Structures are given as structure tokens and as C-alpha cells.
Amino acid sequence: MSLAARFRYPAITARALGEFAPAVLRTGILSSRGGLGQGAALGRYWFTTAREVEQGNLATPHRVAVIDDEGEITYRQLRENSQTLARHIAGLGLDDIRLGVMARNGRGIIYPLAAKGYVGAGIYLLNVASSPEQLTGCIEENGINVLVIDDEFIDRLDPAVVEKQGVHVIIGHQTREHSAHITLRDIVERPWVTEDISLPVLPKHGPIVLMSSGTTGIPKGVMRPEPKLPLVLAGMLKKVPWRANIRVQMHASIFHTWGWSAINIALAARATVVCHRIFDAEQVLRDIDTHQLEAMVTSPIFLKQILEVEDNERYDTSQLEFIVSSGHALTPTLVEHTIERFGPILCNVYGSTELTLASVASAEELAADPTTSGPVALGTDLKILDEDGNEVPQGTVGQIHLRNSTTLTGYTNPDIPLDKSGDLVRIGDLGFIDDEGHLRVLGRIDDMIIVGGENVHPASVDEILDAMPGISEVYSHGVADPDTFRRVASWIVRDDSEAGQSLTEDDVRDFVRDNLAEHSIPRDVHFLDELPRNPTGKVMPRFLPGLEG
């Protein structure tokens, strides 16, 4: 049986395998350092965070793995502390370990990710913006019985739910003393307490569950399998120049798909990862300068804030080899300004919580065309389909569908169906494949509106207004209209310049009129002090004033 047949994904072809080989050499993902232990680690842990930590300990035990708000830890310390946490969890006597984590970036989320692989658990990465009701819903719906939670979120945890569900609570990042619950610090600083507890030789590989970023109701739990061979990485590593022993600044949220993917790639490459719990744009630049960092993992909203740091040229960023962004769409203006400040080193990754990698644009491709999402990634099978599930001709707009080896297997709530057409899952965006084979993403299917019989993608309005002098942030959306049924509305944050302070609603409409068709002109223009965003930087439309109008 061929490898493609064994893994059931036609996109995993000899070409993908061929592209994976040089990436392995460049990044050291399958390093020979560490001898036979490397093969044993792969056989036991597959390509999981535990495997990456184990490999780092075998190959470069004294290299700094993580620099966070609590200091530095080496790969050996990361492995020992993660195993100590795993033994503590194993000692709880649970038949089926369902490990929830509600933590910001740092060792408080990395330890549990590695411990998951060592002990053989399922892990549920909870959104740090979850309300008390959503946190309760996630615990009850998913049967979470161990919860690592930063103490900043402990007040959202209902003690009655903890008692009813029998949840073993572990305080992650700690800012005060806790008498009711054990802390992660207590566990890892006293390894002798659990040294007699054995970890499984061949641990189970429970699912990794990432929560969709819903603002109401219980977030959907997206179940993703642990990969045996990460061939889908061939598409990423071909376009983004990850390499072994790189030093990287990472502020993409690890509880989100993009951050989770990036931390595993970084650890697999035995990188030194610098991260902080709270994003601070100037701190990012200071880190790059101080630690002479060579890579940055980011999202557009964070990148924009970094560029807006006053006198940011005073920080030395000349060591940066690449910046890789994902999570939201890059605008041409943001690409242009990033290249002006850092050089042509910006790469873009397009995907989703359910489907991970769809396409990647290299630094060269993005510099040549800031609107491209790049070619479809190796290891990914992607098609553009119409509403009836038929593939449309090249160049025709349709709904983006895809699959790869890390595509979700389903939702934790069995009542939520997969939105599929054949074997392909709908990503929820509209787009097309251009003449050069590049994916062009137009925006969310649900966001497209019809104005007087004309299709309008609000993202196209955002792209134009993003380049308008005086605008710091913009978000456009459809609103009800008595004459045309739907019209565009825009919410804008002015910048501190003279142009920003004098900006009017008519100025905005005139600018759009000069650059787009009449039906794209915003009927309503709202000026705000800030746009409501979740921790990953996405705008939360339900909090926008006037959206219901």
C-alpha cells in the first residue's frame, strides 16, 4: 500500500514527500543528534509537542527552549517539568484524562501540551476570552476532568461545577497565593513527590481540541488528530524559511490554531522561543533587539501595532530572517509598510481552526503581489466549488473546500455536523484560483452582501480604507437597508495625525467612491476609540454600535 493510500489523503504524494525531505534537513525535525532515542521518541509520541520536547532534550538539552515572563528554561528543564506534570496527572487515577487548559502564552500552556503526549490524554485548549458561562459549558460538554488555568481567570470558574464534575484544578500562571488548588509551580518544583509514578511506554493519542472563537453560546470544540507524519508541513516549510536552532519571537496565541501550529514547528526545530502573556508592541521590538531574534510569528493586528510604535527604528531588527503572519487577512497597505520597515521578509499563511493549512505565500510572492494568498499548500487538497458542490472553472469565484492530514475529524458536540462536500470540508470563505495557480480569498461567505443586485465583499472596502490617510483601523460589514435590503457600513478608528483628527464621514465615502463602484460606498460610517477584538485580534461584530441598523 502506498503512503498516500495509507493516510487516505490524495494530496500526500511523492511530490509532497520530496518537498518534505529538504525541510527535514533544514529544520532538523528528524535530527540524527540523540541517536536511537530519536526514533524511539517518534514511535512513542508521533509528531506531538511531547515528541518535540523529547527530541530537544536528546539533541540540545542545554539550549534555551523558552524565554517567558517567568524567565528561561532549557530543553532539559522543559522535558523534566512537562514529565513531572504528566506524572502528577497520571497519579490522579483517572481512566480517561480530559485535560483543559485556559492559559496565555508561556510555560503555563506549553507544559500541559507536552504533558498531554507523555500521559496519553485528550487536551482542550480553551479561549482565554471565554465567559464564566462558556467556561462552564466547555467543562460540562467535554467532560473536562483536569483543568490548568491561569489565576487571572479563576474567578470565572464556578466552584459548584468543579465539585459536580470532579475537576482537578491546577493553577497555571500564578500572581497570588492559592490555598484551594495546587499550582503548576508547586508541581514542577517538587518532582520527587511523583517520581514513583510511571508514565505509559506507548501513550494513547487522544485528540487535540481547539475551541472556535464564538462570542455567544458554548464554543465549538474542533477535534484534530495527532499526526504520525506531518507531511502537511511540507507546504509551510517550503515557503517559510524555518531552520534549526532559530531564535523566534512568538505572540500568536498558543491556544489558537495558528499559535499551536507555530509552537510545535518551533520546538521541532529546537528554536529558542520568546513569548509573553500580554502582547506589547514595543516589548516585541525590544525582544528582537535584545535577544537578536531571527524570526517573528504574528497576526496582522499585532503587526500593525508594531509598525505604529513611535520611533520604532531605534530598535535593531536587522537579524530578522522572516516574519510569518496568519489569523486574519493582510491588507496591501500593511504588507507595503511591513516591507518598508523590515525588508521583503513577510510570509503569509491562510487556513482555519477546522482545516489548518490551505495556502502559503512566500516572502517573494507577497512582495510581488500583496493580495495573494499563495499557491495551494503541498499536502492539501483544495477545490473551489459552487453551491451545489460542483467544481468551478479556474478564475471563477466559489466556496473554498479542502482537506489534509490535520483536518478536523469532527466536533466534540456530535449534534454539530461537518459542512462537507464529498471528502472536502468547507472553510467558509469565498475565493478563486487565478491564472498562476494562486489562491485569492475574497472574504467570508456570510459577510458578502448584495447591494441593488451587485455583490459586495466588505473586505474589499477595508482594503481601500486601510490605505486612507488618517485611518488607524477599519472594519466593514453589511447592515439592513430599506431600499436595497443591504448596504455596507464601516467602523473606523482615527489615528493621531492631523488627517485623522479632521476625518469626516463624507471624507470616507468620497475616498471609497474614488476607488470602488457606487454600491461599495458605506451608507454608515461610525468613528470609535477602538474596535472590539478578541484575544487573537479578530473583530467581534456583535459589539459594534449600529450593526443591527
User: Which residues have CB under 8 Å from 526's CB, separation 6+?
Assistant: 489, 490, 491, 492, 544, 545, 546
% helix, strand, coil for the chain, step of 5 = 35, 25, 40
Nearest-angstrom CA–CA distance, 65 and 273: 6
Evaluate the CA torsion angle 55, 110, 93, 137 in order and state its sign.
negative
Q: What's the pLDDT score for residue 81?
A: 98
Q: What is the mean pLDDT of residues 357-378?
A: 93
Q: State the average pLDDT for the chain.
A: 88
- How far is CA 342 from its chain centroid? 22
Q: What is the pLDDT of residues 264-273, one digit of tens each?
A: 999 999 999 9
DSSP labels, 366-407 = HHH-TT---BBPTT-EEEEE-TTSPBPPTT--EEEEEE-TTS
pLDDT number for residue 536: 75
Question: CA 115, CA 163: separation in Å to the nearest integer?
Answer: 24
CA distance 381 to 442: 19
Question: In whole angstroms, what separates CA 134 from the centre of its chain?
Answer: 20
Instruction: Please tell me the predicted confidence (pLDDT) of residue 21.
Output: 59
Q: Residue by residue, what is the 3-state secondary structure of 444-455?
A: ECCCCEEECCEE
Q: What is the DSSP string of 287-346?
A: HHHHTT--EEEE-HHHHHHHHTSTTGGGS--TT--EEEE-SSPPPHHHHHHHHHHH-S-E
Q: Which residue has the higher pLDDT, 9 or 150?
A: 150
Domain parsing of the chain, residue ranges: 41-229, 449-543
Q: What amino acid occupies position 159?
A: P
**Three-class SS of residue 9?**
coil
What are the phi and psi torsion angles at 198 (to 5°)?
-90, 145
Instruction: Give the pLDDT of residue 48.
Output: 86
- Is residue 5 pLDDT above 50, yes or no? no
| pLDDT score recorded for residue 157 | 95
According to the per-residue pLDDT averaged within each range, which of 77-86, 322-331, 370-379, 539-548 is highest? 77-86
What pLDDT, on the 0 to 100 scale, is given for residue 214?
56
pLDDT for the residue 113: 97
Q: From 20, 45, 104, select the one nearest 70 (Cα to Cα).
A: 104
Rounded distance between C-alpha atoms, residue 372 and residue 346, angstroms: 12
Q: What is the pLDDT of residues 36-64, one digit of tens each?
A: 455 566 667 777 899 999 999 999 999 99
Reduced to 3 states, what is the DSSP secondary structure of residue 82? helix
Quick one: which of 276, 306, 278, 303 has its CA closest to 291? 276
Lowest-confidence pick of 81-85, 160-164, 217-221 = 217-221
Please write the tens of the pLDDT for every residue from 219-253.
888 988 776 666 667 778 889 999 999 999 999 99
Domain 41-229 and domain 449-543, same fold? Reply is no
pLDDT in tens, 251-295: 999 999 899 999 999 999 999 999 999 999 999 999 999 999 999
First-to-last alpha carbon distance for the chain, in angstroms, is 58
For the segment 528-533, the average pLDDT, to the nearest whole number, is: 93
- Selection from 206-210, 336-340, 445-449 with the highest mean pLDDT: 336-340
Q: How would you label 299-329 residue by residue, b for 16+ Cβ within 10 Å and e otherwise?
A: bbbbbbbbeebeeeeebebeebbbbbbbbbb
Lowest mean pLDDT among 118-132, 186-200, 204-218, 344-358: 204-218
Question: Would you say the C-alpha torsion 161, 162, 163, 166 has a positive or negative sign?
Answer: positive
492 by Cβ neighbours in 10 Å (0-12 / 13-18 / 19+) ranks as: buried
> How many CB atoms sit inside 10 A of residue 158's CB?
15
Select from 57, 78, 58, 83 the least CA-distant residue to 68.
78
- 41-229: in CATH 3.40.50.12780: yes
Place of cell 532534550: 57
Q: What is the DSSP string of 35-71?
A: THHHHHHHHHH-SSHHHHHHHHHHH-TTSEEEEETTE
What fold is seen in the domain 449-543?
Answer: GMP Synthetase; Chain A, domain 3 (3.30.300)
Q: How far apart are CA 349 and CA 366, in angstroms?
A: 11
Region of 477 please: left (phi>0), alpha (psi -120 to 50) or beta. Answer: beta
What is residue 195's three-state secondary structure? Answer: coil
pLDDT band at 14 (very low <50, low <70, confident <90, very high): low
Cα R_g (the chain), whole angstroms: 23
Residue among 536, 224, 215 nearest 354 (CA): 224
Q: What is the pLDDT of residue 1?
A: 35
pLDDT tens per residue, range 310-361: 999 999 999 999 999 998 888 999 999 999 999 999 999 998 877 778 999 9
Mean pLDDT of 504-522: 92
